[in-house]
Each structure stands twice: as C-alpha cells, then as structure tokens.
C-alpha cells in the first residue's frame, strides 16, 4: 500500500494527448467568426444603415465566438510548448510567447471595437447615424486584425518554424511550409482580407499533425497486448 502511495506521489501532471483538439476548435471558431464578419460588411459604404439592422445578429455572433477562439488558442500554445519539452530555449520561447500574446491581445481588441459599436447601436441607432463612430470602429478593428495581428501571427509561425527545424520535434517539411505561410502573412497583408484565414488554417493543420504524432507515440509505447509500457 505504501509503495502504491509513493508511486502516485511521483506521478507528474501531463498534457492530455487530445489537447491538440483546442487548435482545431480555434481554427473553426475564428474562421467562422471572420467569414461572418466579411459577409456582413457592405462593399460600398461603412455608414450604419439598413444593412446594419439586417446583419447586426451576424456581427454579434461573430464577436461572441472570439473569446472562445482565444481560449482555444491559449490551449494550442500550451500544446505546442509541451512538444518542445526540455529542448525549450529562453530566447525563442520569449519570441514565441510575445508574438502569440500580442496576436491574441490585438484580436480581442479588434473584436471589442466592433462589439462596443454594436452595443451603442442596440441602445440608440440615432446615436450612430452620421456620427462616424461605427465607421471608425470598423476601420480600426479591421486594421488591428488584418494588419497588426496578422503580422504577429506571421512572426509566431516564423519562430515556431525555426524551433522545429532546430529541435526536430515536428517534421522538417512541416516547418518549411510554416516558413512559407509565415512569409505570406508578413508580405501579402492588404491584398485581400481573406488572407487572414491562412493562420487558422495553419493552426488546424498543425493540430491534426500533433494529434497524429501523439497517436503514433501512444501506439509505440503499447506492448503486444495493448498495455502501455511504463518509462
């Protein structure tokens, strides 16, 4: 009995192997939110009018998804860091955390701008009419998300690609694709608003890859009878 208690005391808190699902959730939530936003915005004018009355519910739904997408992204960062293990380097970890947190913070700020304007719209539509408040909120929100946040996302990907090349905790071909997509985010911002979806698509692919690698690792640790081999 004492031996069993000592064994339990030595057990460490480990990352759930299915935690990479958080990255998939982030990709789905953020991607859905961005699609709703882009489909809701008019092409001709940003002044609040009949289109806002018709699309306010879509914008509100998009804003409500962002916090949950952010929580999922934090879990994704934790999963990626867990794969580094003891090979984690302070320099690259600082860049990893800094770019990830800045991306998340600007994404939240972008959503808060539109969310605040929607609250004003719900309280008094006449307050927004002709004031330019909603137009300013949309412009600032769009710049925060599609310019600054996406460049932080590109830096986040570039740092991870470098970490993966040096530590080999992920396949080399995946690191090279990460470099390529990071360059797309850093250079092509402004050509089309849909380029924002490159980042959640990448997170989705990386999460699936981690799930596959975790599954293979579990299978390799199992004995011929399907029992897990202790370290």
pLDDT digits (tens, 9 = 90+) for 19-67: 778 999 999 999 999 998 888 776 555 555 566 667 778 888 888 999 9
What are the boundaries of each domain within the chain? 19-40+48-208
Q: What residues have CB less than 8 Å from 182, skipping those under 6 apart?
A: 154, 155, 157, 158, 161
pLDDT digits (tens, 9 = 90+) for 144-189: 888 899 999 999 999 999 999 888 888 889 999 999 999 998 887 6
Summarize the confidence of residues 96-117 as an average pLDDT.
90
C-alpha span between 147 and 151 (Å, rounded): 6
Does the pLDDT at position 134 exceed 60? yes
Does the pLDDT at position 224 exceed 60? no
Does the pLDDT at position 115 exceed 80? yes
Residue by residue, DSSP assigns 148-197 as IIHHHHHHHHHHHHHHHHHH-SS-HHHHHHHHHHHHHHHH-TTS-GGGGG
Residue 181 near residue 157 (C-beta atoms within 8 A)? yes
Summarize the confidence of residues 196-210 as an average pLDDT.
92
Does the pLDDT at position 9 exceed 60? no
The predicted pLDDT at position 15 comes to 59
Residue 191 has which token pair?
């050509």
């Amino acid at each position: 009995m004492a031996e069993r208690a000592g064994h339990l005391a030595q057990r460490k808190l480990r990352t759930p192997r299915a935690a990479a699902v958080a990255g998939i959730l982030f990709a789905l939530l953020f991607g859905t939110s961005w699609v709703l936003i882009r489909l809701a915005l008019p092409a001709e004018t940003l002044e609040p009018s009949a289109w806002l009355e018709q699309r306010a519910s879509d914008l509100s739904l998009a804003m409500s998804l962002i916090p949950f997408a952010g929580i999922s992204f934090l879990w994704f960062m934790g999963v990626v860091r867990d794969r580094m293990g003891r090979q984690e380097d302070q320099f690259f970890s600082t860049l990893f955390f800094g770019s990830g947190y800045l991306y998340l913070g600007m994404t939240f700020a972008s959503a808060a701008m539109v969310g605040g304007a929607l609250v004003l719209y719900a309280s008094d539509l006449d307050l927004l009419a002709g004031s330019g408040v909603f137009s300013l909120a949309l412009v600032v929100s769009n710049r925060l998300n599609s310019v600054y946040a996406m460049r932080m996302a590109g830096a986040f990907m570039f740092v991870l690609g470098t970490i993966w090349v040096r530590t080999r905790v992920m396949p080399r071909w995946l690191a090279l694709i990460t470099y390529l997509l990071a360059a797309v985010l850093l250079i092509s911002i402004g050509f089309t608003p849909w380029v924002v979806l490159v980042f959640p698509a990448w997170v989705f692919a990386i999460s699936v890859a981690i799930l596959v690698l975790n599954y293979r690792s579990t299978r390799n640790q199992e004995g011929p009878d399907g029992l897990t081999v202790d370290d």
